[in-house]
């Protein structure tokens, strides 16, 4: 069974930094594409970015609102995905979910498994 557990959320100050982690199990992490998706309180889903598997080139793409401020990385030896968040803004407040792509055999461009999310609050 696929299991994704996010951690690292909490209170961050405007202009500050936070690092989120997503521990994965139950599938071959090395082969998976991984994404971060966030959700402001009471709002809809917003894709942040994705990292492909190393075998698929390891390309990383970001959504415009976070490009240049957030960095996605992965440690395949530890089955862990990371999101380094810098230059935080109050608009970055929300739940942050990690999600897999290409794990359940239903395609590379659908988010087939999700973690339960970790809450990030940016406030002075």
Partner 1 sequence: QSVLTQPPSVSGAPGQRVTISCTGSSSNLGADYDVHWYQQLPGTAPKVLIYGDNKRPSGVPDRFSGSRSGTSASLAITGLQAEDEAVYYCQSYDTTVSLFVLFGGGTKLTVL
Contacting positions for partner 1 (CB under 8 A): 35, 37, 44-47, 50, 61, 63-64, 97, 104, 106-107, 109-112, 114-117
Residue for token pair 């970001």: 62
Burial of 118 (0-12, 13-18, 19+ CB in 10 A): buried
**Which CB atom, from 14 or from 26, has the smaller least distance to partner 1?**
26
Q: Residue 22 Cβ, how far from partner 1 at the closest point, in Å?
A: 12
User: How many alpha carbons lie under 13 Å from residue 110 in its C-beta half-sphere?
Assistant: 6
Q: Which is nearer to partner 1, 80 or 118 (CB)?
A: 118
- At its nearest, how many Å lie between partner 1 and the CB of residue 48? 9
- Return the DSSP state at 31: G
Smallest distance, partner 1 to C-beta of residue 23, A: 15
- State the nearest-atom distance from the C-beta of 112 to partner 1, in Å: 6
Nearest-angstrom CA–CA distance, 15 and 20:
16
Other Cβ atoms within 10 Å of 98 Cβ, number: 29
Nearer to partner 1, 14 or 104 (CB): 104
Our CB check for partner 1 shows the closer of 29 and 95 to be: 95
Cα four-point dihedral sign 10, 114, 24, 48: negative
């Amino acid at each position: 069974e696929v299991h994704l557990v996010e951690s690292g959320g909490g209170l961050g100050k405007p202009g500050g930094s936070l690092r989120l982690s997503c521990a994965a199990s139950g599938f071959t992490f090395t082969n998976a594409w991984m994404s971060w998706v966030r959700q402001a309180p009471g709002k809809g889903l917003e894709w942040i970015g994705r990292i492909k598997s190393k075998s698929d080139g390891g390309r990383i793409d970001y959504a415009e609102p976070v490009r240049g401020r957030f960095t996605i990385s992965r440690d395949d030896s530890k089955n862990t995905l990371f999101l380094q968040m810098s230059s935080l803004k109050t608009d970055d407040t929300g739940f942050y979910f990690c999600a897999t792509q290409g794990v359940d055999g239903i395609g590379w461009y659908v988010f087939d498994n999700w973690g339960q999310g970790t809450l990030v609050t940016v406030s002075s």
